[in-house]
Structure 1
């Protein structure tokens, strides 16, 4: 387990360049295989495979240091991953057996965004954000330009939009579950997943002060079922 008690350090220019190349390659690989998911050669033919593959990328991105200028990369890549995954999920046929893994993935994403919003480091073992001290210049009393950076209002607005619209699409997708004539919510209740899906991204949206927005989406969707 990483030692989060040590001061957070920004990546060097060379390290950032290698990180960007690595993450871009992983995005390209994931997207390429998703687009050919119906082909036998795809590495993500099922939602379970896609979630497993994308979770590795999620964990890697979250471990980017929460200090400038590295924190900018963490926010940028995590917004991109959130957008791609929320769009890709509904490209698969929903199956009740895969819902626990899906909910677990989305909960990790929620905790990951909480860590980003709070400028925390990510503990991949505990799957949660942890506070870390900043590296301080003992002579000048500053962090040498490596201050933690909160998300901008534009980034927060984009994140809020991604989560709320993505939740709406997920609810429409869940209606397509093969439930044997039952309402899909009854299936979720039987699997003890109803509350989890009702509370999707509650942590992140509450942190941003926009929980009412997602609750309005839920109410609207319930009215159409």
Structure 2
């Protein structure tokens, strides 16, 4: 079956859902210091909420004009996470959940940068293939526009500033006087945090600015 862009009605519902979700998360985050008043009193609870939102965003197909919507929402969730995580007290036991989420975000961006469809079962992007025999005469060309240079620049800025902020935040870990990097090493977390967003940053180094035209061919975008 040939993938389809969201209809206007579907796009409207997607925007409403994402906006409402961000509003709920932001409201709960602001009340995080009052556990009885918020649904997100801990970093783990916050990340669980963001994980559900991320899963929804990744369902948006990379088919124009829906392609840009997925990128826009993913930039927003990335910026929110990078600025909100340091708002919680750093705890070693929650760093495992944080690293898992950031790894998922790294894979998500890799898929978006490659204009791939998201496979939730494998938690990774898969190439979008359009069989020639499923293209009917008169069908509009199926196009998947790449992430723009402006969006890539913004993404790189979010990742660089965000990882620097996380590094500073982790210096506040309660490590009984031990250097926090040594503590991360003992917990098996240091390499993971050292390699944050390595897949995404590597992929951005291959940008060629092209637009993938998928119609009339069987192949990969």
TM over 0.5: yes
The answer as to whether partners of 1:68 and 1:145 remain within 8 angstroms in 2 is no
SS of corresponding position for 2:165: helix
Structure 2 unpaired stretches of 5+: 207-221
Matched, 1:132 2:123: no
Distance 2:135 2:79 in 1: 38
Cα distance per residue 1:172-206 (max 9 Å; x no partner):
00100000010001111111111100000000000
Aligned to 1:37: 32
Alignment of 1:164-179 (within 5 A): 164-179=160-175
Matched, 1:198 2:207: no
SS of corresponding position for 1:63: coil
Please identify runs of 4+ aligned residues in structure 1 that moved more than 6 A.
none
Q: Give the C-alpha shift of residue 157 in structure 1.
A: 0.2
SS of corresponding position for 2:76: helix
Distance 2:61 2:173 in 1: 40
Alignment of 1:33-182 (within 5 A): 33-39=28-34, 40-134=36-130, 137-140=135-138, 144-182=140-178
Distance 2:97 2:141 in 1: 40
When the two structures are superposed, what TM-score results if normalisation uses the length of structure 2?
A: 0.88
The answer as to whether partners of 1:7 and 1:132 remain within 8 angstroms in 2 is no
Distance 1:89 1:123 in 2: 26
When the two structures are superposed, what TM-score results if normalisation uses the length of structure 1?
A: 0.87
